Amino acid sequence: MQALIVQNQHDKTIDSLTIANIEKPTPAADQVLIKVHAAGLNPVDYKVVEGGVAAWTYPHSLGLDLAGEIVAIGDHVTGWQVGDRVSGHGDLTKNGCFAEYVTAPTYQLAKIPDKVSYETAASLLCGALTAYTAVERKPNLTNVKTVLIHAGAGGVGSIAIQLAKLHGWQVFTTVSTNKIKYVQQLHPDAIIDYRKEDVSARVKELTANNGVDLIINTVGKVEAEQDLNRLAYNGTLVTIVDVPEIDATQMFNRGLSIDVVNLGGAHLSDNPSQKADLGKMNQEMLQLVADGKINPLIEKVLPFTEIKKGLQLIKDHQVIGKLVVKVN
Ligand SMILES: NC(=O)c1ccc[n+]([C@@H]2O[C@H](COP(=O)([O-])OP(=O)(O)OC[C@H]3O[C@@H](n4cnc5c(N)ncnc54)[C@H](OP(=O)(O)O)[C@@H]3O)[C@@H](O)[C@H]2O)c1
């Protein structure tokens, strides 16, 4: 079968990736074999190439976000049938879905509702499930009325804004100038141009000096350290890229919390309920889209031969919205 592969451990660039013929996989007892119809592209896809993953065997086929059709079932699998339309966010230590076929354990899968296409399902995994975890799973939402979501035009931020609006919160978001128009379609209550404006001053102004109750940080450590000063009393920072240095006195005095999201960590957690939550969150997200409550914001569907081009565009920050690849 055809797959986009990392040939060996010395291949550390997007350019070094190749499409090659590799052996079609066979499902283990707790796995299904999926004919891949569509795959989602994410920043993590090129980051793992550049960083390397010790657990990989070579050739390694890339790709985490899959949507396709079950074509074979392992001996111990129950509740799933050949012909089921499924999607799932894969384990980055295993061979992935930039390939005609992929095997997957069933805990990560969800059944795609009839009115949702393979392309849409593939777009709702890494970014959308991270946003879902950051909004619906990690923070205590009891006292949340205001939220600051960084990088509102990004894969994670754009879904987080929509989930936050469904809660009825006041939503503030940071973007650079050329993404303001795009993010307006999500109707945040305030858009902060982080390259031109003082984000902390704007947050103070928007909250009558109180700070925000919740911050979703999708950009990194430096911003996360500033975010701690932007939180209201009892506020929570959810961080998905890095963990800030903390001032224990400030954290204690102001009753602050930090939640860390590592979506793919669930695969390696050895915790059956955390693993199963990947499939559960996926099902819930698919339903929100089927019900018309969340817009997946697909920017473009690329042919399989253009995955490298798509990854380069993501790396160069040239993409607004989700890139999806049609595989079969
Ligand atoms: N922990 C996890 O489980 C997990 C899961 C998924 C993703 N991630 C990581 O989370 C990050 C975001 O993912 P994504 O899919 O949303 O990426 P994305 O779609 O590429 O969006 C990231 C955007 O952040 C913006 N940005 C950079 N610095 C900023 C700042 N200081 N303030 C506001 N915006 C800023 C950039 O837009 P501008 O052009 O406006 O600068 C960039 O396009 C990536 O690093 C990804 O690897 C982590």
Report the separation in Å between the CA atom of 126 and the middle of ligand 1, taken as the mean of its atom positions: 12
Residue 328 has what pLDDT? 85
- What are 192's two structure tokens? 């902060």
Across the range 224-230, mean pLDDT stands at 97
Across the range 97-124, mean pLDDT stands at 98
How many angstroms separate the first and last alpha carbons of the chain? 11
Q: Answer yes or no: is the C-beta of 46 below 6 A from any ligand 1 atom.
A: no
* Res 210 pLDDT > 90: yes
Residue 201 has what pLDDT? 98
- What are 37's two structure tokens? 């119809």
Residue 99 has what pLDDT? 98
Stated length of the chain: 328
pLDDT 10s digits, 253-273: 999 999 999 999 999 999 999
pLDDT 10s digits, 276-300: 999 999 999 999 999 999 999 999 9
Secondary structure of the chain: what % helix, strand, coil (to 5)?
Answer: 35, 25, 40
Residue 214 has what pLDDT? 98
Q: Answer yes or no: is the C-beta of 139 below 6 A from any ligand 1 atom.
A: no
Report the separation in Å between the CA atom of 278 and the middle of ligand 1, taken as the mean of its atom positions: 21
Residue 208 has what pLDDT? 98
* Res 207 pLDDT > 90: yes
Q: Answer yes or no: is the C-beta of 241 below 6 A from any ligand 1 atom.
A: yes
Pocket residue to mutate for ligand 1, from 48, 64, 123, 130, most atoms within 8 A of Cβ: 130
* Res 243 pLDDT > 90: yes
Residue 204 has what pLDDT? 98
Q: What is the mean pLDDT of the chain?
A: 97
Q: Answer yes or no: is the C-beta of 22 below 6 A from any ligand 1 atom.
A: no
Q: Answer yes or no: is the C-beta of 127 below 6 A from any ligand 1 atom.
A: yes
Residue 247 has what pLDDT? 94
Residue 110 has what pLDDT? 98
Query: Which residue, by CA, sits nearest to atom 2 of ligand 1?
Result: 262
Q: Strand pairing of 31-40 and 101-105?
A: antiparallel
Report the separation in Å between the CA atom of 201 and the middle of ligand 1, taken as the mean of its atom positions: 22
pTM of this structure: 0.97
